[in-house]
Amino acid sequence: MSIVFNPSVRCQLPVLLLLLQGILIGIFAVFLSYDELSSAASLSNITVAKKNDMDTYFPLFKDIQLMLFVGLGLLLSFLKLYGFGAMAFNLVIANFSIQWAVLVQGFFYHYRDGKIHFGLENVMQAEFAAVTALISAGAILGRCSPVQLLLLSMLEIPLFVLNDWLINHYFHIIDIGGTVAIHVFSCYFGLGVSRILYRPGLRAGHSKNITTPTTDLLSLLGAIILWIFWPSFNSVLAKSAEAQHRAVLNTFLALSFSTLTTFALSSLMDKRGRINMVHLQNSILAGGVAVGASADMMITPAGASGLGCIAALSCILGFQYIAPFLEIKLKVQDQCGIHNLHGLPAILGTLGSILAILFERVDTTGHNLRGLITSDISIEKELFSSDTVEGNGAWNAKDQALNQAAALGVTFGVSLLGGYITGLILKPPCLVHPSDEMCFDDQPYFQIPTDSEETWSLNAQAQRELIVPLKQV
Amino acid sequence: MSIVFNPSVRCQLPVLLLLLQGILIGIFAVFLSYDELSSAASLSNITVAKKNDMDTYFPLFKDIQLMLFVGLGLLLSFLKLYGFGAMAFNLVIANFSIQWAVLVQGFFYHYRDGKIHFGLENVMQAEFAAVTALISAGAILGRCSPVQLLLLSMLEIPLFVLNDWLINHYFHIIDIGGTVAIHVFSCYFGLGVSRILYRPGLRAGHSKNITTPTTDLLSLLGAIILWIFWPSFNSVLAKSAEAQHRAVLNTFLALSFSTLTTFALSSLMDKRGRINMVHLQNSILAGGVAVGASADMMITPAGASGLGCIAALSCILGFQYIAPFLEIKLKVQDQCGIHNLHGLPAILGTLGSILAILFERVDTTGHNLRGLITSDISIEKELFSSDTVEGNGAWNAKDQALNQAAALGVTFGVSLLGGYITGLILKPPCLVHPSDEMCFDDQPYFQIPTDSEETWSLNAQAQRELIVPLKQV
Amino acid sequence: MSIVFNPSVRCQLPVLLLLLQGILIGIFAVFLSYDELSSAASLSNITVAKKNDMDTYFPLFKDIQLMLFVGLGLLLSFLKLYGFGAMAFNLVIANFSIQWAVLVQGFFYHYRDGKIHFGLENVMQAEFAAVTALISAGAILGRCSPVQLLLLSMLEIPLFVLNDWLINHYFHIIDIGGTVAIHVFSCYFGLGVSRILYRPGLRAGHSKNITTPTTDLLSLLGAIILWIFWPSFNSVLAKSAEAQHRAVLNTFLALSFSTLTTFALSSLMDKRGRINMVHLQNSILAGGVAVGASADMMITPAGASGLGCIAALSCILGFQYIAPFLEIKLKVQDQCGIHNLHGLPAILGTLGSILAILFERVDTTGHNLRGLITSDISIEKELFSSDTVEGNGAWNAKDQALNQAAALGVTFGVSLLGGYITGLILKPPCLVHPSDEMCFDDQPYFQIPTDSEETWSLNAQAQRELIVPLKQV
C-alpha cells in the first residue's frame, strides 16, 4: 500500500490548486471587467446588438462545452481502471486552462483602458486554447499526476497563444478550424513532453493498459459526440454566414466519409476482417481535423469528402505502422494516439489547404479567400492589424500557399521545442509521479468503490455483509 | 473458431465500402455544387437571408444528429454481447444512407442547371431518409452482417424517396412528423425483410439474446435522448412559426402522457407489478410517433395528451400480444419491436389525423389546414407544384381525410412489397451471414477486449500478468 | 420472495397513474387552449413575434430538458442496484410534476377569459417547478415507492407555486436562478419529508447502499451535463440581453472555480489525498446553486469566481461534518446530500446577493438592480403587478436586502413545514413502502435482467444454456 499512496499527493495538489485559484481571483479582481455586451453600464440602445451576440455565440458555446467535457471526457475513459482519472482530470485541465487563457488572451487581445474586457467571446476563445492542453495530455494519459497536468497547462497555454498570434500576424494563415494552430501544435507539444517522460518500464506493455466492452462503448459514444459537434467547432470563427454554412457542410462531409473509410480500412487491417475499436474511436474524427484548414473555402463537396477519406487512411496507417515506430525507435509513448488523430491528419489537411488555395478558380473564390482573411466581423478581428490592409493589395494565391506552409513549419518547431522544455520541467522527482505499477490506475488519486465487479463476484457473500455508512454515499 | 470468423467478412465489407465511397465522391464531383446560401459566388446582399437559414436549420440539424447517432445508437445497444455492433453499424447505416439520400433526393428535388444544389437543407432532408433505414434495420438487429445492412440501405432509400414523393404529390398528405412517410414505411419495409430472413433456429430463443443492468440503463438513456429531441423532429418541417410552436407543444404533451401511461400499463401487465425495461425503452416514445401526423394541427392540448396515452397502450399491447403472434404465426422476428413502436402507433396516429381533419372547426382551422399544405416557406416546397394551386379551390376536409387514408394504404403496400423484395436480394448465401450461433454477438465483426468482466473475474490473476502491447491501445 | 414483491405495487401504481392521467386530460380539455403564439386563430401579422418567441425559448427549453432527464437522471443513478429506479422514477416525477404544474401555474398566472393560455413558456415555467420535486426526492432516493413519490409531487408543486408567488409578490426577490425559490425550498421540503420517513434500520448502513466504478462514472457524467447547461438555467429568466449575457458569464465562472476548489478540498479531506467521487458529483455544481440569486447583478467576474470557491467549500464541509450530524442527531437521512449541494450553497448565495445589493456602486447598477425587478419582458411579468410601480419610487438597496433575507426566511419555514406535513401524509402503511431490506434495490419495481454481471461470472456455463424467449427482448 505504501507504493500506491504517495503522501505528497495530498500536499501538492490541494496547495497548488488553492494557490492558483486564489491568484487568479486576485488578478480577475484587478483586471477583469464585463465587456460592453454584458455590462449594465452600457447604453441601452445597443440591446439589439447584444441580443445578436448572445444568439450567435451562446449556442456554439454550449456545443464546445459538450465537446470538451462530455465528448472528450468519455472518449478518454477507455481504460478499465482509469475512468475516473480520465474524466475528472479532463475537468481539471479544461477548467484551469480556460481560466488561465482568459487572462493570457485577455492581455493579448482584450486589454483596453487598464481592463480586460470580458464576455462570452473571451470564454469561447479560451476554450479553444484549452483544447490544446487537453489533446497534449492525451499522449501521457494515465502516466502523470494531476499536479503535472496542471503544470503542463500552465506552460502550454501561453505558448499556444504566442504561436497562434505569430501565425496569424505574420503569415495570415487561413485556418478556421485550428488545424495548424490547435491540432498540429497540441500534437507535437504533447509528443515532446512524452519523449522526455518516456518510461522504459512500460515498453513491454502494462497489465492495466486494458479496456472493457463497456469502457470501449462509452469511449465510442464520446467520439460520436465530438463527431456531432465538430461542424460547430470548425465554423465558429467563420467571417460570414455563407462561409459558416460552407464550413458546416464541408466538415460534415469530411467526417461522414472518414467514418465509412475507417470501417473499411480497419476491417482490412485485421487478418480476420474484424474492426478495431481504437480505430473507430479516433479515425472517424480524422476528417474533421484535416478539413479545419480549408472548411470555409470553396473546396467543393467532393473535395471535402475525398479529404475525409485520405485523413482516415492516414490515421489508421498511423496506428498500424507509425505509432509502433515512434514508440520503439523514437521512445515516444502516445497513449491516446494523438499523433494519428491530430498530427498526421492535420499535416495532410494543411497540405490540402495549400492545394485548395493554389487551384481555386479566381472568379468565385479569389474574392472569397481574401474575404476569409480581411473581414472584420470575426471574433479574432484584433489579429488583423493595419499591415494586413497594405498586404491586401499584394495578396496572391502563391504567397498565401507559402504562408500556410511557413505557419505549419513554425508551429511544428515551436510546439516540439516547447513540449521538450515542458517535459524537462515536469520531470523532477519532487513532483508527484505515479510509479510504473500505478500507471493507468485510479487508485492513487480516487477513493474507489470497494465493490468493483471483480471483487463482488469473487466474494459476493462477504460483500453483502459490508457495512457502508450512509454518510459516505 | 472457424465458425466465428467468416473470411469473406474481410473481403466483402472493405471492398463494398471503398467502392461505394469512391463512386459517391465521383458523382459528387460531377453533380454537387454549393447552393446559393453556402456558395461564395452568391451576391453578398443575401447575407441576411443566409444568416437566417443557418439560424433556422443549424440548431435543428444538431438535434437530429443527436437523435440518430447518440439517441438511437444507445437505444439499440441493449444486448449484452452486441453493443459495438448496435452502435457502430448504426453509424455505418446512417452515414451511408445520408450520403446516398443526398444524391437521390438531390436529383428529385434540388437539380437545376445540371447541378444538385447542396446545402444544410439537403443534409437534413437526407437524415430524415436515413431514419427509415435505421428503423428497418432494428427488426433484424444482430442477425445481419454490415454488408447486408448496407445493401438494405441502398435499396430502401430510393424507395422511401419515391413513396414520399407519391404521397405528397398525389395525396397532399398532412404529415409533418413523418408518421406515414417514415414510421409506417420503415416498419413494414423492415418486417418484410425480416420475414424473408426468418431464422427457424432462433425460434426457441437464443442464449445471447440477453441484456445486463448496464446495457438496459444505457438503452433507456438513449430512449430519453430521443424523447427530448422528438419535438424538434416533429416540428422541423413546420410551415410557419406558429405551427412549429404548436407542433412542439403537441409532441411534448403526447410524449409526456405516453410516458406515464407506459409506467402504469407495464406494471399492470406483470403479475407482480414490476415494470419491464423493454416497455420503457420503447413505449415512452409512442406518443411522438403517433402525433407526427397531426402535430401542427389544432388538435388541442387535451387531444395531444390523449393520443399519447392511446399510443402507449397500443405499443404495450403490441409487445404483449401481437409480437408473439407475428413471430410464431407469421414468422416475422422483430428484434427491436419496431412494429410495436413504429407500426401500431403510426397507424393510430394516422387515424387520429383523419379524425382531427374531419372534426376541426372551420372558423379557426379550415384556414389552418389548407395552410399546412400550401404555404411555400417549407423546405419541401418543390413537392407542391401547380396542380396544388388548382386543387386548393376544391379543398375540403372529407377529401383530405380520404387522402390521408389512401396515403397510409399506399405506403403500407409499397413498403411491405419493397421489404419482401429487398429480403430476397439480401438472402443469397454468397453474402456474409452470421451463423445462428453468432447472432447477437460482436465477435465476428469486432476485436473484443480480452478483458471482459466474466473472464476477468474468473481468472483475475492470470489477467494481471497479461501483457498487452502499448501500441494496441 | 414474498418480501420482495408487494402485491399492492401492482394495484396502487397503475391505478393512481391512470387516474391522474385521466383527470388531467379532462381538466386540460376544459381549460387549456393554445396561447396567441401557438394558435392558428391568431392574426398572421404577429408571425414575426412568434418566431422570436420560438427562437428565444426553444433552445433553452431543450437545455432544461437535457438537465432534468439526462443530467439529473444519470447523476442519481449512482447506486449499484438502483439504477433503473433512479433514472425511471426521475422520469415519472418530472413528467407528472410538469403536467400538474402547467395546471397550477396556469390558474395562477395564465388564466384569462375562462381558459389557461398554454405555450412553450408555460412548459418551461412548469419544468422549473418540477425541479423542486426532483431535488426533494433526492433526500429519500431508494427509500420510497413511486406511489409515494407521486404523492410528494402532488403536494410539493402547489406549495412551491404559492411560495414562489409570495416571495415575488411581497418581497420582490431578486433571484434569477431560483436560489431561494427552488434550491432552498426543495432542500428543506425534502429534509422535512425525510425526517418523518426516518428509518432507524438504515442507521448502521445498508449492504445495498454501494456504488460501482461504472455507476460512479455515469453519475459524474450526469453532473457534468448539469454543469454544462447550468448557465442556461440561471439565465433563462433574464430581463434583458445584457443581463442574460452576464448571468451566463457569472454562472460559468462560479461553476469553474467551484470545480477546481472541489478537487483541492476533497483531496485535502482524505488522509491519503484521494478524491471522493461523491464530492465531485455534487460540489462541482455548488457554484451554480449559489450564484443563482446574483447571477444577473454586476457582481464582477472576481466576485462570481470567489462565490464559486466558497460554495464548494460549504458543500464539502457539509458532506464531511453536517450530514453525519443531521443523520445521527436530527434523524434526517439525506441520501443524495441535497442539503450539501442545494441547502448550504443556496443560503450562502442568498447572503451573497444581499452583500451584492448593499455594496454595488449606484452609478452603474442602482439602475441595473431596479431593472432586474421592473422590466416587463420577463416571462414572469404577471408577478409584478401595479404595486411594484409605486414601490419603485421608494426602491433602495437596504429595503431590497431586507426583502431578500425575509424571502429566505419565509421559504425556509414554508418548505420545512410543508415537508413535515407531506411526510406525515406519505407515512401511513396503506401506501406501498419498500422494506428496509429492499431499499436501494430495483427488484420490487422492475424486471431485472437475469444476467447481471455477478451471476454471469459465477455460473457462466449455466447461463449460456438459458433460453430467453425472443419475444421478451
- Interface partners of chain B (CB pairs < 8 Å, 3 or more) are A, C
Enumerate the residues of chain B whose CB falls inside 8 A of the CB of residue C459: none
Q: Exposure string (b/e) for A305-324, b if CB count within 10 Å is 16 or more?
A: bbbbbbbbbbbbbbbbebbe
Q: Is the Cβ–Cβ distance between A235 and A248 less than 8 Å? A: yes
Question: What pLDDT is stored for residue B379 in this prediction?
Answer: 34
Residue scoring higher pLDDT (B150 or A396): B150
Pairwise CB contact (< 8 Å): C207 & A469:
no
The nearest CA of chain B is from the CA of C60 a distance in Å of 12
Q: Is the Cβ–Cβ distance between C440 and B180 less than 8 Å? A: no
Q: Which chain B residue has the Cα nearest residue C457? A: B454
Instruction: Name which of B17, B41, B65 is nearest A260 (Cβ-Cβ).
Output: B17
Q: Give phi and psi for B204, each to the nearest 5.
A: -85, 15
The HSE-up count of residue B209 (CA atoms within 13 Å, CB side) is 25
Return the CATH number of the domain spanning residue range B7-41+50-426. 1.10.3430.10
Tell the burial category of B18 from Cβ atoms under 10 Å away from its Cβ (0-12, 13-18, 19+): middle
Q: Is the Cβ–Cβ distance between C146 and C96 less than 8 Å? A: no
**Grid coordinates of B453:** 468482466
Q: Residue A265 above 50 pLDDT?
A: yes
Please state the rounded mean pLDDT for residues B336-349: 97
Interface test with A, best of C229, C244, C267 (most A CBs within 10 A): C267
Question: What pLDDT is stored for residue C468 in this prediction?
Answer: 36
Strands of the sheet containing A111-112, edge to edge, are: A32-34, A115-118, A111-112
Question: What pLDDT is stored for residue B432 in this prediction?
Answer: 78
Which of A390-394, B151-155, B230-234, B251-255 is predicted with the least confidence, judged by mean pLDDT? Answer: A390-394
Q: Which helix H or strand E contains C455, and what residues bound it?
A: helix C453-458
Encode pLDDT of C65-114 as tens digits: 999 999 999 999 999 999 999 999 999 999 999 999 999 999 999 999 99
**How open is the CA angle C441-C442-C444, to the nearest 5 degrees?**
95
**Domain residue ranges of chain C, discontinuous segments joined by +:** 8-200+209-375+411-426
> For residues C283 and C336, what is the distance between their CA atoms, to the nearest angstrom?
12
Which long-range CB contacts under 8 A does C334-337 form with residues at least 24 apart?
C334/C139, C334/C190, C334/C191, C334/C194, C335/A470, C335/A473, C335/C138, C335/C139, C335/C140, C335/C141, C335/C142, C335/C143, C336/C76, C336/C138, C336/C139, C336/C141, C336/C282, C337/C138, C337/C278, C337/C282
Enumerate the residues of chain C whose CB falls inside 8 A of the CB of residue A464: 207
Please state the rounded mean pLDDT for residues C45-69: 76
**Per-residue confidence band for B240, with pLDDT thresholds at 50, 70 and 90:** confident
> For residues A173 and A167, what is the distance between their CA atoms, to the nearest angstrom?
6
The nearest CA of chain A is from the CA of B358 a distance in Å of 41
**Per-residue confidence band for B111, with pLDDT thresholds at 50, 70 and 90:** very high
Pairwise CB contact (< 8 Å): B7 & A273:
yes
Question: What pLDDT is stored for residue A11 in this prediction?
Answer: 81
Pairwise CB contact (< 8 Å): A34 & C240:
no
Q: Residue C378 above 50 pLDDT?
A: no
Q: Residue A382 above 90 pLDDT?
A: no
Question: What pLDDT is stored for residue C322 in this prediction?
Answer: 95
Enumerate the residues of chain B whose CB falls inside 8 A of the CB of residue A217: 77, 83-84, 87, 218
Encode pLDDT of A316-346 as tens digits: 999 999 999 999 999 999 999 999 999 999 9
Encode pLDDT of A21-78 as tens digits: 999 999 999 999 998 888 877 655 444 444 556 777 899 999 999 999 999 999 999 9
R_g of chain A computed on alpha carbons: 23
Enumerate the residues of chain B whose CB falls inside 8 A of the CB of residue C39: 242, 246, 298, 364
Please state the rounded mean pLDDT for residues A263-289: 95
Q: Residue B262 above 80 pLDDT?
A: yes
Please state the rounded mean pLDDT for residues B329-353: 96
Q: Which residues pair with A116 in a beta bridge?
A: A32, A111
Give whole-number Cα distances, A308 to A294, A302, A304, A312, C115, in Å: 12, 10, 6, 6, 56
> For residues C328 and B421, what is the distance between their CA atoms, to the nearest angstrom?
70
Q: Which helix H or strand E contains B344, and what residues bound it?
A: helix B344-359
Question: What pLDDT is stored for residue B43 in this prediction?
Answer: 52
The nearest CA of chain A is from the CA of C192 a distance in Å of 18
Q: Which chain A residue has the Cα nearest residue C241? A: A51
Question: What pLDDT is stored for residue A325 in this prediction?
Answer: 94
Question: What pLDDT is stored for residue A368 in this prediction?
Answer: 55
Placement of cell 436530527 in the chain = C330
Question: What pLDDT is stored for residue C53 in this prediction?
Answer: 65
Enumerate the residues of chain C whose CB falls inside 8 A of the CB of residue A40: 242-243, 246, 298, 364-365, 367-368, 371
Q: Residue A472 above 50 pLDDT?
A: no
Instruction: Name which of C47, C59, C74 is nearest B59 (Cβ-Cβ).
Output: C59
Please state the rounded mean pLDDT for residues B380-402: 56
Strands of the sheet containing C115-118, edge to edge, are: C32-34, C115-118, C111-112
**Grid coordinates of B426:** 439480401
Q: Which chain C residue has the Cα nearest residue A77? A: C217
C108 closest CA partner among C83, C125, C130, C124: C125
Residue scoring higher pLDDT (A395 or A38): A38
Question: What pLDDT is stored for residue B4 in this prediction?
Answer: 53
Question: What pLDDT is stored for residue C372 in this prediction?
Answer: 59
Q: How far is CA B261 from the centre of its chain?
A: 23
C8-200+209-375+411-426 CATH fold: Ammonium transporter fold (1.10.3430)
Encode pLDDT of A218-261 as tens digits: 999 999 999 999 999 999 988 888 889 999 999 999 999 999 99
Q: Is the Cβ–Cβ distance between A151 and A208 less than 8 Å? A: no
Enumerate the residues of chain C whose CB falls inside 8 A of the CB of residue B203: 470
Pairwise CB contact (< 8 Å): A212 & B449:
yes
Q: Residue A460 above 60 pLDDT?
A: no
Encode pLDDT of C275-305 as tens digits: 999 999 999 999 999 999 999 999 999 999 9
Give whole-number Cα distances, B304 to C95, C106, C448, in Å: 15, 18, 32
**Per-residue confidence band for B220, with pLDDT thresholds at 50, 70 and 90:** very high
**Per-residue confidence band for C431, with pLDDT thresholds at 50, 70 and 90:** confident
Architecture of the A17-438 domain:
Orthogonal Bundle (1.10)
Pairwise CB contact (< 8 Å): A472 & C278:
yes
Enumerate the residues of chain A whose CB falls inside 8 A of the CB of residue C364: 39-41
Q: What is the mean pLDDT of chain C?
A: 86
Question: What pLDDT is stored for residue A89 in this prediction?
Answer: 97
- DSSP letter string, C102-166: HHHHHHHHSEETTEEEE-HHHHHHHHHHHHHHHHHHHHTTTTS-HHHHHHHHHHHHHHHHHHHHH
The nearest CA of chain A is from the CA of B43 a distance in Å of 10
**Per-residue confidence band for C46, with pLDDT thresholds at 50, 70 and 90:** very low
The nearest CA of chain A is from the CA of B263 a distance in Å of 28
Enumerate the residues of chain C whose CB falls inside 8 A of the CB of residue A457: 453-454, 457-458
> For residues B292 and C223, what is the distance between their CA atoms, to the nearest angstrom?
33
Encode pLDDT of B49-71 as tens digits: 445 567 778 999 999 999 999 99
Question: What pLDDT is stored for residue C299 in this prediction?
Answer: 93
ipTM: 0.90
Pairwise CB contact (< 8 Å): C221 & A59:
no
Contacts of A134 (CB under 8 A, 6+ apart): A68, A72, A90, A93, A94, A97, A186
Pairwise CB contact (< 8 Å): B62 & A232:
yes
Going by their DSSP bridges, the two strands A115-118 and B32-34 should be labelled as: unpaired
Pairwise CB contact (< 8 Å): A273 & B214:
no
Q: Residue B164 above 80 pLDDT?
A: yes
Interface test with C, best of B198, B235, B260 (most C CBs within 10 A): B260
Q: Which chain A residue has the Cα nearest residue B451? A: A212
> For residues A105 and A95, what is the distance between their CA atoms, to the nearest angstrom?
15
Helices B146-169 and B397-426: angle between axes, nearest 10 degrees? 160
Encode pLDDT of C456-470 as tens digits: 333 333 333 333 333
Pairwise CB contact (< 8 Å): C324 & A471:
yes
Question: What pLDDT is stored for residue A361 in this prediction?
Answer: 54
Please state the rounded mean pLDDT for residues C401-409: 96
**Grid coordinates of B93:** 447505416
Which of B357-366, C346-355, C360-369 is predicted with the least confidence, judged by mean pLDDT? Answer: C360-369
Please state the rounded mean pLDDT for residues B22-28: 97
Q: Which chain C residue has the Cα nearest residue A118? A: C301
Question: What pLDDT is stored for residue C43 in this prediction?
Answer: 52
Question: What pLDDT is stored for residue A370 in this prediction?
Answer: 53
Encode pLDDT of A160-185 as tens digits: 999 999 999 999 999 999 999 999 99
* 3-class state of residue B261 by DSSP: helix
Q: Is the Cβ–Cβ distance between B260 and C17 less than 8 Å? A: yes
Enumerate the residues of chain A whose CB falls inside 8 A of the CB of residue C274: 5, 9, 444-447
Enumerate the residues of chain B whose CB falls inside 8 A of the CB of residue C64: none
Q: Residue B400 above 50 pLDDT?
A: yes
Q: Which chain B residue has the Cα nearest residue C8? A: B273
**Grid coordinates of A413:** 518547431
H helices of B110-184, in order, are: 120-139, 146-169
Measured over the CA atoms of residue A445, residue A446, residue A451 and residue A457, the dihedral's sign is negative
Helix, strand, coil % (nearest 5) of chain C? 70, 0, 25
